Chains A and B, each alone.
Chain A
């Protein structure tokens, strides 16, 4: 660690150091927060903060293209896709803490150990002066973007193409898995409207009834001739008269009125 600190102190201006300490703190807090937060969306937010902090560090280290690509690709696309799925989980749901994978702790520990070895080896390399530094690499090709382009499209062209073929295959695979054959042709807007007219009821369904006592959605509406109609009640409520269903007592009363009663003056004469 002291080697790392020493390298930071000897390279870079005060501005760069301030950026480093601020962004490093954000990145670490974000990473820890990602692990300990209960809600999946909070975890996603923390990791997004970590990614942005890392992107700022890349930019301040002289790799602006990498920094921007990090935000556009990882924060903007990948994390957004994660968030998209997580949002459907709902605002007040928390993660279940039951472990379903056997031996995942040991496997995780082993992986973490391997990663730590890799990380220390990579950072330790700095003290052996193999690295030229990003400025030298940038200057060789006339700029950061040009340097990356040179490496990707010249030296690592095969790896780049293979990766892109892999990604395209994955995308196609996802599409094949999600694809469902259509067995009937899709109805056009014209056919739909024709079907509607043929059904004998081209207009909207009647709205729920508004009586002096009730205006709940389960109350049947009255047709123009005074008859109540079940079709104004949403289907799940039809026939469920107990709690929220159709108020059949109301229906009966209205029916009785419509049949012979004379609440509305002149109504009874018209009906008979």
Chain B
């Protein structure tokens, strides 16, 4: 190491680890993620059971803790079925892509400050570079391939529909997710995860940038295909969506990918918005050593658990959205709100960087006054509106018997027309006529 050790939050800290340490870190992350996944499956089942007034798994091991192991053994011993009209290579490749991409994100998640491992002083993070949050987005977009290809290669309609749904869903929610990152980049002045954590020493960005945090929380649920946004695997409509045809260990890889992705997006939320590995406020104010040494791993894991609980809570509470509502929400609500919010934040940052605080206070008051004027004008307008809302029906779209779109200058008005008299279709069965079961509604079927 250099004689002058760089402070945490400096990228010069990274890239000096000896090879054995890199391998050790990667191995620990991998095993940790798998173990955390096993724990999460148990945790989810227990918590959801509690919310539904049930007991949940309680047979294997204390509190049913060994159920994930039993599940794993069962899945490993099951036959991996390949459908006859599947695209074999892609069918096998898809779960591998999904699981591998899920595992890669944690490489740039900071788990703690600089510690000493076997005499080597190193940050508790596999690596970091100037655009590591973009790396997270990039890996997430590769992970979508696994799901999409699984849906396509299965050669089954349900899988295909699930794959299509998930690709549309994840691509559109990734836009909202990426936009929610921008405000954080502006405040941290960096796209590297360790520098973002270093920037949250005083205030968490969840407090400073609450709208971004809320948008991220919503889009992360959409991104992981979890309830209430689990449309790709809506069992009432699509059996199991993209993994309908999968079984055994291949299915287990999708399962693993989903749970690791849950942990990933939770870790990203913690890193970008919830102070990263830093101890939450009451602890760090009372105990000054809370952010040193190995303790931060505890805070990080605690925060992960809270986030996972939120996931389970959502699943236990909210019903699934309809697909069009879900897409409309993403494109017409989340994305416009984030764009306006980014505009505000960047204007704010720009003013602060250029003019300092004096102008800022003036501008705040100016903004408040303008907002008040706008609000009053809007309210007055609301009161007056009903009076001048008489629209003359200028043309009849059905005048000639066929619907005709309005010409420029003509305003479209809907005129409710009497239902057309069409003779009822003759139903073959005489029984219907005899019992009078033939009803008006039959024509509309």
Binding site for B on A (CB under 8 A): 39, 41-42, 45, 48, 52, 55, 64-65, 68-69, 71-72, 75-77, 80-81, 83-84, 87-88, 91-92, 143-145, 181, 183-185, 196, 199-201, 205, 220, 223, 225, 227-231, 235, 238-239, 246, 248, 251, 255, 258
Which residues of A are found within 8 Å of B154, using beta-carbon distances? 91
Instruction: Tell me if A72 and B137 are in contact (CB < 8 A).
Output: yes
Determine the distance from Cα of A205 to Cα of B347 in the docked complex, in whole angstroms.
58
Partner of A45 from B135, B141, B149, B431 at Cβ < 8 Å? B149
Top 3 A-B pairs, shortest CB-CB distance: A76-B141, A199-B441, A71-B138
Tell me whether B167 is interfacial, beta carbon within 8 Å: yes
Partner of A199 from B163, B164, B439 at Cβ < 8 Å? B439
Determine the distance from Cα of A181 to Cα of B155 in the docked complex, in whole angstroms.
36
Instruction: Tell me if B171 and A52 are in contact (CB < 8 A).
Output: no
Binding site for A on B (CB under 8 A): 85-87, 90, 129-131, 134-135, 137-138, 140-142, 144-145, 148-149, 151-155, 160, 163-164, 167-168, 171, 174, 178, 191, 397, 403, 405, 412, 414, 427-432, 434-435, 437, 439-442, 444-445
Q: Across the two chains, which residue of chain B brings its CB closest to A42?
A: B90
Give chain B nearest CB distance to A107 CB in angstroms. 32
Instruction: Tell me if B167 and A84 are in contact (CB < 8 A).
Output: yes
Partner of A91 from B152, B397, B431 at Cβ < 8 Å? B152
Instruction: Tell me if B138 and A68 are in contact (CB < 8 A).
Output: yes
- Known interface pairs A65-B130, A68-B134; A183-B153 also in contact (CB < 8 Å): no
Which residues of B are found within 8 Å of A72, using beta-carbon distances? 134, 137-138, 141, 178
Instruction: Tell me if A220 and B429 are in contact (CB < 8 A).
Output: yes
Q: Across the two chains, which residue of chain A brings its CB closest to B159?
A: A91
Give chain A nearest CB distance to B45 CB in angstroms. 33
Partner of B142 from A52, A196, A220 at Cβ < 8 Å? A52
Instruction: Tell me if B152 and A87 are in contact (CB < 8 A).
Output: yes
Instruction: Tell me if B144 and A80 are in contact (CB < 8 A).
Output: yes
| 9 additional A-B residue pairs with CB within 8 Å, beyond A91-B160, A227-B435 | A39-B87, A72-B141, A72-B178, A76-B137, A76-B141, A77-B141, A143-B130, A183-B405, A238-B428
Instruction: Tell me if B130 and A145 are in contact (CB < 8 A).
Output: yes
Determine the distance from Cα of A181 to Cα of B414 in the docked complex, in whole angstroms.
13
Instruction: Tell me if B148 and A230 are in contact (CB < 8 A).
Output: no
Instruction: Tell me if B134 and A80 are in contact (CB < 8 A).
Output: no
Instruction: Tell me if B134 and A229 are in contact (CB < 8 A).
Output: no
- Known interface pairs A227-B431, A228-B431; A92-B85 also in contact (CB < 8 Å): yes
Chain B contact residues: over half helix, strand or loop, or mixed?
helix
Partner of A205 from B155, B414, B427, B445 at Cβ < 8 Å? B445
- Known interface pairs A80-B171, A183-B403, A183-B412; A251-B153 also in contact (CB < 8 Å): no
Determine the distance from Cα of A205 to Cα of B441 in the docked complex, in whole angstroms.
11
Which residues of A are found within 8 Å of B149, using beta-carbon distances? 41, 45
Partner of B145 from A42, A48, A145 at Cβ < 8 Å? A48
Q: Across the two chains, which residue of chain B brings its CB closest to A251?
A: B429
Which residues of B are found within 8 Å of A185, using beta-carbon distances? 414
A-B CB contact pairs (8 Å), 8 listed: A68-B135, A71-B142, A80-B144, A91-B87, A227-B434, A227-B437, A228-B431, A239-B428
Instruction: Tell me if A144 and B171 are in contact (CB < 8 A).
Output: no
Instruction: Tell me if A231 and B431 are in contact (CB < 8 A).
Output: no
Give chain B nearest CB distance to A200 CB in angstroms. 4
Which residues of A are found within 8 Å of B178, using beta-carbon distances? 72
Determine the distance from Cα of A183 to Cα of B403 in the docked complex, in whole angstroms.
8
Instruction: Tell me if B141 and A91 are in contact (CB < 8 A).
Output: no
Give chain B nearest CB distance to A121 CB in angstroms. 30
Determine the distance from Cα of A196 to Cα of B444 in the docked complex, in whole angstroms.
10
Instruction: Tell me if B191 and A248 are in contact (CB < 8 A).
Output: no
Instruction: Tell me if A229 and B155 are in contact (CB < 8 A).
Output: no
Instruction: Tell me if A200 and B439 are in contact (CB < 8 A).
Output: yes
Determine the distance from Cα of A238 to Cα of B445 in the docked complex, in whole angstroms.
12
A39, A68, A227 interface centre (most CB from chain B within 10 Å): A68
Which residues of A are found within 8 Å of B151, using beta-carbon distances? 87
Give chain A nearest CB distance to B15 CB in angstroms. 11
Q: Across the two chains, which residue of chain A brings its CB closest to B178?
A: A72
Which residues of A are found within 8 Å of B152, using beta-carbon distances? 41, 83, 87, 91
Instruction: Tell me if A229 and B431 are in contact (CB < 8 A).
Output: yes
Give chain A nearest CB distance to B143 CB in angstroms. 10
Instruction: Tell me if B440 and A225 are in contact (CB < 8 A).
Output: no
Give chain B nearest CB distance to A29 CB in angstroms. 14
Instruction: Tell me if A76 and B130 are in contact (CB < 8 A).
Output: no
Which residues of B are found within 8 Å of A64, using beta-carbon distances? 129-131
Which residues of B are found within 8 Å of A88, using beta-carbon distances? 164
Determine the distance from Cα of A134 to Cα of B135 in the docked complex, in whole angstroms.
20
Determine the distance from Cα of A143 to Cα of B12 in the docked complex, in whole angstroms.
12
Instruction: Tell me if B85 and A91 are in contact (CB < 8 A).
Output: yes
Give chain B nearest CB distance to A78 CB in angstroms. 10
Q: Across the two chains, which residue of chain A brings its CB closest to B405?
A: A181
Determine the distance from Cα of A80 to Cα of B148 in the docked complex, in whole angstroms.
9
Give chain A nearest CB distance to B61 CB in angstroms. 41
Which residues of B are found within 8 Å of A55, using beta-carbon distances? 138
Instruction: Tell me if B414 and A228 are in contact (CB < 8 A).
Output: no
Determine the distance from Cα of A143 to Cα of B195 in the docked complex, in whole angstroms.
14
Determine the distance from Cα of A235 to Cα of B445 in the docked complex, in whole angstroms.
8
Determine the distance from Cα of A181 to Cα of B174 in the docked complex, in whole angstroms.
30
Give chain A nearest CB distance to B430 CB in angstroms. 7
Instruction: Tell me if A65 and B171 are in contact (CB < 8 A).
Output: no
Give chain B nearest CB distance to A58 CB in angstroms. 11
Instruction: Tell me if B142 and A75 are in contact (CB < 8 A).
Output: yes
Instruction: Tell me if A65 and B430 are in contact (CB < 8 A).
Output: no
Determine the distance from Cα of A217 to Cα of B54 in the docked complex, in whole angstroms.
38
Which residues of B are found within 8 Å of A246, using beta-carbon distances? 428-429
Determine the distance from Cα of A229 to Cα of B191 in the docked complex, in whole angstroms.
66
Q: Across the two chains, which residue of chain B brings its CB closest to A245?
A: B428
Partner of A77 from B135, B171, B434 at Cβ < 8 Å? B171
Give chain B nearest CB distance to A11 CB in angstroms. 18
Instruction: Tell me if A183 and B430 are in contact (CB < 8 A).
Output: no
Which residues of A are found within 8 Å of B90, using beta-carbon distances? 41-42, 45
Instruction: Tell me if B414 and A223 are in contact (CB < 8 A).
Output: no
Q: Across the two chains, which residue of chain A brings its CB closest to B163?
A: A87
Which residues of A are found within 8 Å of B429, using beta-carbon distances? 220, 228-230, 246, 248, 251, 255
